[in-house]
Structure 1
Amino acid sequence: MKNTSKFNKAIWLIKTQLFLKPRFSKIDKRSIVFFPMQIDNPQAISIGKKIFISNNAWLAGGKDSNGKDTLIIDDYTRIGHFFHCIALHDVYIGKSVLIADKVFISDASHIYKDIDLPIFAQGMENLRSVSIGDGSWIGENVCILGANIGKHSVIGANSVVLQDIPDYCVAVGSPARVVRKYDFETKKWVTVE
C-alpha cells in the first residue's frame, strides 16, 4: 500500500508541473495540486514549497494585478477539498497553515446596490486584504471575508470571520469571536470571558 501511495504522489507531482507550472506566477516543483479544479487568472497566483491542495479547489487571482501576485500560498500549507479563494487584490496564506474542507476565503464581495440588475451582473467590490498567520488551523466550512487571522490561531468549524482574530487565539461562531487564547505565563490555553 505504501508503494501505491508513493506512486500516486509521483504521478500528481508530474501532473502539477506539466499542467500548472506554465500557468501560475510561481509554483514549487514539490507542490501537489489535485484535479479537477478551477483556476481564474493563474498568472496572479503564487504557490510556495511543498503545498498540498486537494481536489475541487477554485482559486481566483485578480484580473488587473499588473504583475502583482494577488493570491500567495506560502510554504508547507495543506488545503482540503472544495477550497474556494477569491483574491482580487491581496490574499496571503502563511506557512504551515492547515485548511480543512469547504473553506471560503475572499478579499471581495458581490455588489448588490442596483435592484434593477441581477447581483451577478453588478461586479465585485474590494473588502479588505486577507492574511492567515503561520501555523494556523482553519476548520471545516469556515468563511473568511476581508479579515486577518493571527499566527497559530484556530478558527472553529462553520465559523464566519468578519473581523481580525489575534495571534494564538481560538475563535468560533457566526460572526466568529475569540473564546480561548494562549497564556504564555502558564503555557496553557485559557477561556476568554
Structure 2
Amino acid sequence: MSGAELAPFVSGIAFAYLAGVSIVLVVIDLSSHRLPNRVVLPSYVVALLLFAAASALTADPGRLLRTVAGMVILFACYFAMRLASPGSLGGGDVKLAGLLGLYFGWIGWSAILIGTAAAFLIGGTQAIAMILMRRADRRTRIAFGPAMLAGAWVAIIAAALPTLLPTPPGS
C-alpha cells in the first residue's frame, strides 16, 4: 500500500478519535458545564500527530500548514469573543475551538465557516427552545460544547457527503 493510499486511513483514525472524544465531551459538558483539559488538550496532540503523518504520507506539507492555521484562526476568534464578553464563552469552549479548527483546517477553509456557523445556529436554536419551554431565561448558563461539536460534525459530514453519494449515471 502506498503512502497516498494509507493517508486517508490515518486521517480517518483522527476523525474516529474525534467521534469518541465528542461523545465524552458532550456528556461531561451537559452534566457539569466543563470541557476538561484532560480530554481536550491530549486531543490536540493526537490530531496533530495523525494529521502530520497523513500529510507526510502524501508529501503535502501545505495541508498540514492549513490544518495548523485552522487551529490558530478558530482559537483566536473564540478567544477574542471570550475577551469581548467574558460570561458568554468558557475557557473550555475556546480550547475546544482550537481543536475543532485542526479538523476543519484538514478538511478545507469552508469547513471553518460551516462548522462555526452551524455551532452558533444549533446553540442559538437550543437556547431559544429552552426559553420558550421555560427551562431557561437570558441569564441561564447553557453548555455550548455540544453545539460546537454538533456543528463540527455538520461540517465533517458535509465535506464527506459528496464522496459517499453515488455518482448519477451520465455525469
TM-score, length-normalised on structure 2?
Answer: 0.29
Higher strand share: 1
Higher helix share: 2
Greater RCO, 1 or 2 (C-alpha within 8 Å, sep 6+): 2
TM-score, length-normalised on structure 1?
Answer: 0.27
